[in-house]
Amino acid sequence: MASPDQRVEDVMERDVIFARADVDQEEVARLIQRYDLLALPIVDQEGILLGVVTVDDVIDILEEEATEDIYAIGGVRAEGESYFDSGFLSILKKRSPWLLVLVVTNIATVFIMSRYEEVLDSVVELAFFTPLLIDTGGNIGAQSSTVLIRGLSTDELRNKKPVRVILRELFAGAALGLVLAVLVLGIAMVFVGKVEIGLTVGLSLIAIAALAATVGTLLPYLFHKMGFDPAFMASPFITTVADILGILIYLNIAKLLLNIG
């Protein structure tokens, strides 16, 4: 649209957005998305043009990366092939590594409960609420990690201070725990009829919810800072860590409030 007698240097865009050939394809997709480009130049280390990546290419990249992240969040290895076209042995290979890690990690829960055997023996009713507490903590931790991983993947958190995000999730977890604690306190009074048990469960739930939300935010952040895909800090692992810390908090609060040991 310029005049025929104008020089190219007078109308060209000098601050060109580009990517180097060794950049991850996900970063290329983010650049095209962030600047609403139709195509992105790809150059070598000397800045010489090697080719372009177009919007059509990005659609395929985003689908591939989204699939990889979804599998990672679920603790399933993705190796390029369609999951539904995979053979039975391939399915076992994809699922077993994380499950083995989680089984080994969960041994910590068994060890903790064995160390607090006198607490559970003294007040048997405490055992009734153990699944409720650790499951709630795991669920809240998984929610926080999912929100954070999405924020990191879409660059929404690029200009956000990590401490602020972590504190926000901590307070959100505590608020959720408070709401749930009121409900659980009522349930405890109906089924157990002991105020001290209800208070123990309620306070534990608040502490566990706050801690689980913090863990669910902190671990993906750490993975991201270390240069790894935060999606690999999968929800099953977040849930397991929250379970271990949750049972430790619960039994210690019970020991303190109920004067056991």
Tens digits of residue pLDDT in 133-162: 888 888 898 888 888 877 877 777 777 888
Residue 83 is assigned to a structural domain of this protein: no
Average pLDDT on 79-106 reads: 68
Residue 111 has what pLDDT?
A: 84
Same domain, 225 and 188: yes
Higher-pLDDT residue of 180 and 96 is 180
CATH number, domain containing residue 37: 3.10.580.10
pLDDT tens column, 171-187: 999 999 999 998 888 88
Which two three-digit tokens encode residue 18?
Answer: 């580009």
Residue 6 is assigned to a structural domain of this protein: no
Asked which of 41, 73, 105 is the last residue of a domain, the reply is 73
Average pLDDT on 73-89 reads: 60
Same domain, 26 and 121: no
Global pTM value: 0.67
Interatomic CA distance for residues 185 and 255, integer angstroms: 18
Same domain, 32 and 156: no
Residue 4 is assigned to a structural domain of this protein: no
CATH number, domain containing residue 251: 1.10.357.20
On average, the pLDDT of the chain sits at 82
Same domain, 132 and 201: yes
Residue 86 has what pLDDT?
A: 64
Same domain, 106 and 220: yes
Same domain, 62 and 141: no
Domain that holds residue 110: 97-257
Name the domain count of the chain: 2
Same domain, 151 and 245: yes
What is the CA 252 to chain-centroid distance, rounded? 27
Residue 146 is assigned to a structural domain of this protein: yes
Interatomic CA distance for residues 243 and 131, integer angstroms: 9
Residue 210 has what pLDDT?
A: 94
Same domain, 44 and 106: no
> Among 151, 144, 159, which Cα is nearest to 235's?
144
Asked which of 22, 38, 73 is the last residue of a domain, the reply is 73
Determine which of 43-47, 83-87, 91-95 has the lowest per-residue pLDDT on average: 83-87
Residue 261 has what pLDDT?
A: 60
Adjacency order of strands within the sheet including 19-20? 19-20, 39-43, 49-54
Residue 232 has what pLDDT?
A: 63
Q: How does 234-244 read in b/e, with b if 16+ C-beta sit within 10 Å?
A: bbbbbbbbbbb
Work out the number of other CB atoms within 10 angstroms of the CB of residue 5. 5
Average pLDDT on 198-204 reads: 89
Same domain, 64 and 29: yes
Same domain, 113 and 239: yes
Residue 251 is assigned to a structural domain of this protein: yes
Alpha helices, H only, the chain: 8-11, 25-35, 55-73, 88-115, 117-122, 130-153, 162-191, 195-225, 235-257
Higher-pLDDT residue of 130 and 103 is 130
Task: Give the side-chain half-sphere CA count within 13 A for 11.
Answer: 8
Work out the number of other CB atoms within 10 angstroms of the CB of residue 89. 8
Residue 51 is assigned to a structural domain of this protein: yes
Residue 206 has what pLDDT?
A: 94
Residue 118 has what pLDDT?
A: 82
Q: pLDDT grade, residue 84 (50/70/90)?
A: low
The top-scoring range by mean pLDDT among 34-48, 108-122, 178-192, 235-249 is 34-48
Residue 92 is assigned to a structural domain of this protein: no
Same domain, 169 and 208: yes
Residue 80 is assigned to a structural domain of this protein: no
Residue 149 has what pLDDT?
A: 79
Report which DSSP code applies to 232: G
**% of the chain surpassing 70 pLDDT:** 86
Same domain, 138 and 220: yes
Determine which of 76-90, 137-151, 156-170 has the lowest per-residue pLDDT on average: 76-90
Residue 11 has what pLDDT?
A: 87
Checking if the pLDDT of 38 tops 70, the result is yes
